[in-house]
Amino acid sequence: MAKKNENRSDVALKCTECGEQRLRTSKNKKNTPERLEISKYCSRCRKHTIHKETKSA
């Protein structure tokens, strides 16, 4: 069985420009209790855009 780590959780990231939701990352809930906002490369927009956390996977 996989080791349980309560502080890390997988989240889905959504591009704020085209709405594409295909990126995933994990975050530390203790360090980042608020919603994530990261600049990431979007393959649809073909540039870096702001990606926001949508929900936990």
Residues at the interface with Zn ion (CB under 5 A) = 15, 17-18, 20, 42, 44-45
Q: Of 28 and 43, which CB lies nearer to Zn ion in the complex structure? A: 43
Closest CA to 11 of 44, 45, 52: 52
Q: Of 11 and 15, which CB lies nearer to Zn ion in the complex structure? A: 15
Tokens representing residue 55 in the block: 């929900």
Q: Of 29 and 52, which CB lies nearer to Zn ion in the complex structure? A: 52
Shortest CB 49 distance to Zn ion, Å: 5
